[in-house]
Structure 1
Amino acid sequence: MTTSAPGTPPGSDGDGHSGSAIDASVQSELTRLRESIDNIDAAVVHMLAERFKATQQVGFLKAEHHLPPADPAREARQITRLRELAKSARLDPAFAEKLLNFIIAEVIRHHETIAGETRGHDA
């Protein structure tokens, strides 16, 4: 009979799973995979940070030259491009498009903020 650790519900392995304890080899593989996921998440965050540094520079350039924050033609090209990249990477293109639309909306918001701040300094 398996006993639970103190404070752990009976039949739980302490990781939110009910049933019998996870086999050591399965736990080891879960840990390995989760460490890989954590590394990928960190890389994604760093890549997004670099992307937003570049888009911030675009925002300043647009504001300086009184260009609109949004560029629907470029956005459409980027969505088409990203959907194709997603297909070749075996990632759901609809998911990739949703992600890019979220990022684009955030970039436009940043560009609008930069344009507003720039106009405030021009006055």
Structure 2
Amino acid sequence: MSQAGGEEEALQMELARCREEIATVDSAFITLLSKRVALARQTGMLKQKLGLSILDPQREAARIRVAIASARAEGLDPESVREIFWHILGLSRKAQYSEKR
């Protein structure tokens, strides 16, 4: 096998390893997201019992600020992370409203 062929094979193996690791991280992310939604449902029930509103703009804004700061510390694009967390908060809010019925 030529040196170039051996290098390409090594690169292909590294690519496969990276993709496998990404799949593992994606799976862990879904597991954590599921846990977050379950906690949001529980939060919704507690808010209902306490007579509190599901919507809590100050809390949501604080969570977004923390996410943005963490993103910056990790070298991630803060605006992209803000958008992702906005969607996650929306999913959590929806779960809380579903418990209100």
Structure 2 CA distance for aligned equivalents of residues 57 and 47 of structure 1: 15
Structure 2 CA distance for aligned equivalents of residues 89 and 67 of structure 1: 35
Which of 1 and 2 has greater Rg?
1
Specify the SS of the correspondent of 1:58: helix
**TM-score under structure 1 length normalisation:** 0.72
Matching residue within 49, 60, 65 for 1:64: 49
**TM-score under structure 2 length normalisation:** 0.86
State the match for 2:63 in structure 1: 78
Matching residue within 45, 61, 66 for 2:30: 45
Shift of 1:104: 0.9
Name the Cα RMSD after superposition.
1.4
Q: Which runs of 4+ in 1 moved over 4 A?
A: none
Shift of 1:40: 0.8
| Runs (5+) with no aligned partner, structure 2 | 1-7
Percent identity over the alignment?
A: 29
| Runs (5+) with no aligned partner, structure 1 | 1-22, 118-123
Aligned pairs for 1:13-52 within 5 A = 23-52=8-37
Number of residue pairs aligned between Structure 1 and Structure 2: 95
More helix by percentage? 2
Structure 2 CA distance for aligned equivalents of residues 57 and 92 of structure 1: 31
